[in-house]
Structure 1
């Protein structure tokens, strides 16, 4: 039987929430193998001078444990 583990991460981007999610996966991939999914729990943004300056996400990443 396969087992998955879930970690919670925070990531950000100055482009979009989609890019923040990609950054989360890219950074997690540096230390975690077999990533299977990402679940975005929360999205927020900082605003400067009336425009979005930074997109931020709180996400759960699941990965397959080695057997």
Structure 2
């Protein structure tokens, strides 16, 4: 039996929600080993003068809990 830890990460992009999601996973993977999945929880955007200027995606990142040295 294994346990999975889940954290929330916010990714941003000036291009798209997809790129914001990719950025969240890319950044999380720099400090989290063995990411097994993500779930998009929320998508928002910043708007200026009627145009989207920044896409924001909040994702839940899932990875296994490790005990001691393995």
Aligned residues: 67
Q: Which runs of 5+ in 1 are unaligned?
A: none
Q: Is the 8 A contact 1:34 1:65 kept in 2?
A: no
| Segments of 4+ moved more than 6 angstroms | none
Distance 2:36 2:11 in 1: 18
| TM-score, normalised by the number of residues in structure 1 | 0.89
CA RMSD after TM alignment: 1.1
Unaligned runs of 5+ in 2: none
Q: TM-score, normalised by structure 2?
A: 0.86
Moved more, 29-38 or 57-66: 57-66
Q: Is the 1:35–1:62 Cα contact (8 Å) retained in structure 2?
A: yes
Q: Which has the larger radius of gyration?
A: 2
Larger proportion of strand: 1
